[in-house]
Structure 1
């Protein structure tokens, strides 16, 4: 995530730097020239990152390979939006510094604004007003996105306004950019970003995001293996492309509720049947078992994700770790390997549960692993054994051997394992994590 955003920001700064005019060092001119260039650079970074966020919001499947999956794409999208808000706020503060500079340096040889009139002048005035209004709203959206206590069901609807805010900011950037920019690298890059962002905004407003990967189906089976787990099996129509074990999809049971991402907990058997194990983690999922029924229509968009077994390093020891509902992609892995047991790698599957005796997945895991001799199952019951830690995990494996960890579970659990295992294995360890978050 960090390298991708750093490279993108570096590209914008480079384009700005190539076309920056020479600063006039005459008395009183330098502070104003610096302010002007800071205003341009902060504006370029704000609209550039906002354009990137808009493009990534369209769920571009072609970027999954270079960025490592849709979960990583959404993380870049999130931080691009946050940084866009930071630079937009900086841009606004620099604009307000006019009176401060006057009081310190006087008007001096302040850079003159571009001469314009008629329609262009009216467009510039409209662009200034729209931009200021949109910046206030965008900053409010960024704050709400960071407030986890703000209910997702409300945030999701507010977030739909982002394409409109983007178009307002794009108009602001287009009409207020210096005329000479359009013949320089900064202008070419700005034009490309505005075009891409505008197309993405139009796709979002038109409800076309993910439409080519969306299929319809019906719920064929429904059960509750545990009080907080809803198991849903769906049969999809002929347009379903199939999936790889470990991938996820956006599932919509109700039109106005929208789609939610769930890991596909079953292997692809070629019959267009998919199964989801949905844990009650929020208002929607807690009520789900009472809101759906067998025969009900369902919409599934996908599949997405790169948490797939085919990417494993065949030269490294495989350590698979799941916490709670994070076991779902591994259930799909094990089912898929049952069809081709000779392809199963030597692996240790560690499943951390709060109560082994009442866990609905333990018996299923034991049955699946019994048919795969190369996969060793380890059940860690936190109620009796305490939490699974990096130290306990390291003690069970040879840290001198190259290892590859695949993890799916709570974020805090992942962070402590990643840090602890890195200390034990160093560069001999690779850590893969499904890190999907909608906000």
Structure 2
């Protein structure tokens, strides 16, 4: 939901809070199971068939949560479509837990007490959210439809797709979208990609073959394949930045910056640092160099880590009015963010990290 992206300053941060709340919830469930027998006079609570059954379901729910989360820890070894199945199975132990709460509690949660109202609200939100994800999300949010009308391979592992949509997608340069490519043999689950250009009716996305899905797209995607889109997302906003800007891109992280450069002449002073590992990963290098040669306000620095030392921003000072935008791998961006802020205390640094875990 767009409002959460705004509140947490980026969809990747929503995922981080989601994960941390899930970890906290599991810890509390385990603690609850361990200390329940230590509650004074617990054995004097009236036992019924409902309460005994609810107690058993509570134990099953706890074991179910633990088992599914242990499986999730191995997500990097699973195909995304398989991981999604395990993630959705969490609804089963959640249902067991709700039944357990209502029918084994020493408090009557069906009464309109503060605790009863709180439990009813959270349980309702939980069930509605789960059912929404299972039944309605794919239809309600993927409302932009179109076809792949252009395919260009930019190297041994990078491909650019031109998407022609049935209606205009309003987006801001630097944002990304979730795409479902509806071609037999390709995973139907949505995947996020930065918009690298376009006018809204036509959208360009540049994809690097890093995993099973993106490798399959690179090898076998076909013209006229139907697509559906959800978005746009992303909080990078070059237009609202200062007149003086520094851009930092790592590998495929160059794509959100391309959207801005290809749409209009630069009207502010921008210096781009583009780091990559080997020439095969230096996509759009010729375009960037030509752009710098013809625009005095734009400067580009190419850092090939197979030929030079890794990019560093130690003792890199800029004026307090400078806006810094970064996109690339999360570990790299957090390292640069720390370096930049160590010698520029009041500087504005915005970045989009490639991580949704």
What TM-score results when the alignment is normalised by the length of structure 1?
0.72
* Cα offset, 1:113, TM superposition: 5.1
Q: Is the contact between residue 251 and residue 281 of structure 2 (CA under 8 Å) also seen in structure 1?
A: no
Report the more deviating stretch, 374-383 or 355-364: 355-364
Secondary structure of the corresponding residue to residue 277 of structure 1: strand
> Greater helix share, 1 or 2?
1
- Structure 1 gaps of 5+ residues are 1-59, 102-106
Query: Which residue matches 2:190?
Result: 259
2-side partners of 1:311 and 1:130: how far apart? Answer: 53
Counting matched residue pairs gives: 352
SS of the counterpart of 1:226? coil
Give, in angstroms, the shift of residue 325 of structure 1.
0.4
Distance in 2 between residues matched to 1:172 and 1:331, nearest whole Å = 53
Name which of 73, 78, 84 aligns with 1:146: 73
Asked if structure 2 preserves the Cα contact closer than 8 Å seen for 1:407 and 1:432, the reply is yes
Query: Equivalent residue for 1:70?
Result: 11
Q: What is the match of residue 108 of structure 2? A: 179
CA contact (8 A) 1:144 1:150 kept: no
Shift of 1:199: 0.9
Q: For 2:126 and 2:175, how far apart are their aligned partners in 1?
A: 28
Q: Distance between the aligned counterparts of 2:334 and 2:219, measured in 1?
A: 35
Q: 1:405 aligns with which of 301, 319, 324?
A: 324
1:279-428 → structure 2 map (5 Å cutoff): 279-312=208-241, 314=242, 317-338=244-265, 341=266, 344-356=267-279, 359-370=282-293, 372-391=295-314, 394-395=315-316, 397-398=317-318, 401-426=320-345, 428=346
* 1:184 Cα offset (Å): 4.3
Quote the offset at 1:165 in angstroms: 3.4
CA RMSD in angstroms comes to 2.7
For 1:140 and 1:134, the matched residues in 2 are separated by 10
CA deviation string 1:219-266 (max 9, x = no partner) = 10112111010111111112x532211111111114753111111111
Q: 1:84 aligns with which of 5, 9, 25?
A: 25
In structure 2, relative to structure 1, the CA distance for the partners of 1:437 and 1:354 (3 Å cut) is closer
Equivalences for residues 38-187 of structure 1 within 5 A: 60-95=1-36, 98=37, 110-111=41-42, 114-115=45-46, 121-122=49-50, 124-147=51-74, 149-153=76-80, 154-177=82-105, 178-179=107-108, 182-187=111-116
CA distance in 1 between counterparts of 2:111 and 2:271 reads 58
Which protein has the bigger strand share? 2
- Greater Cα radius of gyration, structure 1 or 2: 1
- The runs of 5 or more residues in structure 2 that have no matched partner are none
Give the TM-score normalised by structure 2. Answer: 0.88
Q: Deviations over 1:321-351 (max 9, x none)?
A: 100001111111222343xx4xx33222111
**Conservation of the 8 A alpha-carbon contact between 1:369 and 1:375:** yes
Secondary structure of 1:302's counterpart equals: strand
